[in-house]
Amino acid sequence: MKRSKRIETLDKRPVNMDGFINEWPEMGFIAMKSPYDPNPSIRIENDQIMELDGKTRDQFDFIDQFIADYAIRKDRAIASMAMPSLDIARKIVDISVPRKEILQIVSGITPAKMAEVINELNVVELMMGMQKMRARRVPGNQAHITNLKDDPIQIAADAAEGALRGFSEEETTTAVARYAPFNALALLIGSQVGRRGVLTQCAVEEATELELGIRGLTTYAETVSVYGTEKVFVDGDDTPYSKAFLTAAYASRGLKVRFTSGSGSEVLMGYAEKKSMLYLECRCLYVTKGSGTQGIQNGSVSCIGVAASVPSGIREVMGENLVAALLGLECASSNDQSFSNSPMRRTARTMLQFMPGTDFIFSGYAAEPNYDNMFAGSNFDAEDFDDYNVMQRDMQVDGGLKPVKEEEVIAVRRKAGKAVQAVFKYLGLTEVTDEQVEAVTYAHGSKDTLKRDVVSDLMAAEDMMKRNITGVDIVKALAETGFRDVAESILNMLKQRVIGDYMHTAAILDENFNVMSGVNTPNDYMGPGTGYRVEGKRWEEIKAIPHIIDPNNF
């Protein structure tokens, strides 16, 4: 066939490099509704749920049982289940129905009913729902702070810059797993140099992550994964009950924790049991709710390539974010994984969370160039900072970030590097040279930094754990090496776990360590003239982008 030049041009567009697949429910490649999804049902006898979504108690797998026993309000179930799904969907977008009333209704419905409700909503309605149902009044944002070399100086510098730019939480992970203690330590220090009160976590194997948290080297945890089918849980040597124990372990030390789930994981693991991604994600979110954890990171997350490959997949992703909010959970709404070669498509995907605002729009945004992102690439990276800031300004939307000045960026990066250098020396870890700090201060990514001695770093990181170094040792090291302000910040972060208020739903801290959560600053949106509006000081901040034409120069 003679080829059309138009079609040839289109074939070469980045979007045609993406992976697409037809719906195939038998293998789980189905976004919103599978012919094999169960119909909603519930039967309660003697205050026990005896039937859930078409299965009787003797047919329950452990997820059904966990949900039946812990995640549904039995006192509200009969009334809520009697309400048509379409009516519930309409109440969600009706500005005259307050968030609280929706939370009450939804607390009595089953996962299959929840999926049915979401199926009634188009993307704009899902966004309207999120605008009202988000837990915290003011939206927030989270950063990824990682690099190819696991260079602790760069982690500290990127964390400081990220905090300066407005991220309320920062998450690291490793290229080499054994670097975890260094990454956690560097992130903790760097974040507080950039802006006091930023929360930090290190996403690694669960037992290691817990230990870092207990030691005070991190201030929250997120990598507690739950799945929608029993087989995937079992494959990971886990159950909903073991995840609930893990939640309790964090809570016992006063640490904020959220779970992680997301559609597509069951497909990717080969155990979707023919169910839709939305229905399986509903099960994950009910397990999350039932375990007593305050929040979730969801929105397909690392399996976004699967959700995005099927029709209505990106709508489904927003749908599952809304389910989290409907269950009263903090929602850190993904946008954290590259999934498309098309800049247009990746931007469009993020608008669904950006415009209504979620508790954390990204979880997280790569605050380094994507080649350094050790979560295999985020949907937005450091090279998109200015685009993002302009989008906030264009639409008068609070996406959680702000424009910064170059001299401030350089100053906080250098200070963070120097602080880590001092702590490493004080604690007898590996050497950090002045040249390394200087290179990192002005660097964009790890291609601009110096090489580190990996073997020595890994030995020192292991030794640091063996010596039982804790957050208090870091405070002491900073205080005695001239970084008293940073020491005080970290001490304040440690105090949070004694106070415990930041374990409330969707909590973040301001620069004076005051908690802002869904409890003390709840979302009160009920249509025009209500809820959070971008105005005053915050609007001035958003407006102040660089590269503005100065009429005086003509």
Q: Are 24 and 308 in contact (CB under 8 A)?
A: no
- What mask, x for binding another protein by CB under 8 A, covers residues 125 to 154? -----------------------xx-----
Give the strand pairing for 48-52 and 42-45. antiparallel
Q: Which is nearer to another protein, 17 or 78 (CB)?
A: 17
Options 163, 193, 221, 374; binder of another protein; rule CB under 8 A: 374
Q: Which is nearer to another protein, 140 or 264 (CB)?
A: 264
| Active-site annotation holds for 65 | no
Window of 17-25, 49-57, 128-136, 402-410 that interacts with another protein by CB under 8 A: 17-25
Smallest separation, CB 100 to another protein (Å): 38
Smallest separation, CB 188 to another protein (Å): 21
Options 131, 340, 363, 523; binder of another protein; rule CB under 8 A: 340
When asked if residue 339 is in the footprint of another protein (CB under 8 A), the reply is yes
The residues near 370 (Cβ < 8 Å, ≥ 6 apart) are 338, 377, 378, 381, 383
Task: Please tell me which residue in 80, 144, 161, 291 is annotated as part of the active site.
Answer: 144
- Integer Cα distance of 436 and 487 in angstroms: 23
Q: Are 13 and 341 in contact (CB under 8 A)?
A: no
- Integer Cα distance of 258 and 222 in angstroms: 5
| Active-site annotation holds for 34 | no
When asked if residue 205 is in the footprint of another protein (CB under 8 A), the reply is yes
User: How buried is 498 (Cβ within 10 angstroms: 0-12 exposed, 13-18 middle, 19+ buried)?
Assistant: exposed
When asked if residue 233 is in the footprint of another protein (CB under 8 A), the reply is no
When asked if residue 206 is in the footprint of another protein (CB under 8 A), the reply is yes
Q: Which is nearer to another protein, 179 or 250 (CB)?
A: 179
Q: Which is nearer to another protein, 445 or 531 (CB)?
A: 445
- In the block, tokens 């040792």 appear at 473
Give the strand pairing for 169-172 and 199-202. parallel
Q: Which is nearer to another protein, 286 or 365 (CB)?
A: 365
| Active-site annotation holds for 444 | no
Window of 76-84, 121-129, 374-382, 463-471 that interacts with another protein by CB under 8 A: 374-382
- Integer Cα distance of 491 and 501 in angstroms: 16
Per the omega criterion (within 30 degrees of 0), is the bond before 319 cis?
A: no
Q: Are 298 and 320 in contact (CB under 8 A)?
A: yes
DSSP 201-268: EE---HHHHHHHHHTTS-SEE---B--SSHHHHHHTT--HHHHHHHHHHHHHTT-EEEEE--TTHHHH
Q: Which is nearer to another protein, 110 or 302 (CB)?
A: 302
The residues near 364 (Cβ < 8 Å, ≥ 6 apart) are 141, 142, 143, 144, 167, 169, 170, 171, 332, 336, 378
Options 4, 56, 59, 270; binder of another protein; rule CB under 8 A: 270
Q: Which is nearer to another protein, 187 or 303 (CB)?
A: 303
401: nearest Cα among 191, 189, 140:
140
Task: Please tell me which residue in 151, 169, 171, 266 is annotated as part of the active site.
Answer: 171
Structure tokens at 98: 């307050």
Q: Are 174 and 183 in contact (CB under 8 A)?
A: yes
Options 22, 252, 468, 552; binder of another protein; rule CB under 8 A: 22
When asked if residue 309 is in the footprint of another protein (CB under 8 A), the reply is yes
- Number of residues lying near another protein (CB under 8 A): 55
When asked if residue 522 is in the footprint of another protein (CB under 8 A), the reply is no
CB atoms within 10 A of CB 70: 16
When asked if residue 208 is in the footprint of another protein (CB under 8 A), the reply is yes
Q: Are 172 and 201 in contact (CB under 8 A)?
A: yes
Task: Please tell me which residue in 158, 222, 359, 473 is annotated as part of the active site.
Answer: 222
When asked if residue 455 is in the footprint of another protein (CB under 8 A), the reply is yes
Smallest separation, CB 460 to another protein (Å): 12
Options 305, 311, 395, 513; binder of another protein; rule CB under 8 A: 305
Helix (H, G, I), strand (E, B), or coil: what is residue 549?
coil
Task: Please tell me which residue in 64, 151, 169, 336 is annotated as part of the active site.
Answer: 336
Q: Which is nearer to another protein, 267 or 486 (CB)?
A: 267
Smallest separation, CB 348 to another protein (Å): 14
The residues near 466 (Cβ < 8 Å, ≥ 6 apart) are none
Residue ranges in contact with another protein by CB under 8 A: 12, 17-22, 24, 26-27, 148-149, 175-178, 204-208, 235-237, 264, 267-271, 302-306, 309, 337-341, 366, 370-374, 376-378, 381, 454-455, 458-459
Catalogue the active-site residues. Answer: 142, 144, 171, 222, 297, 336, 363
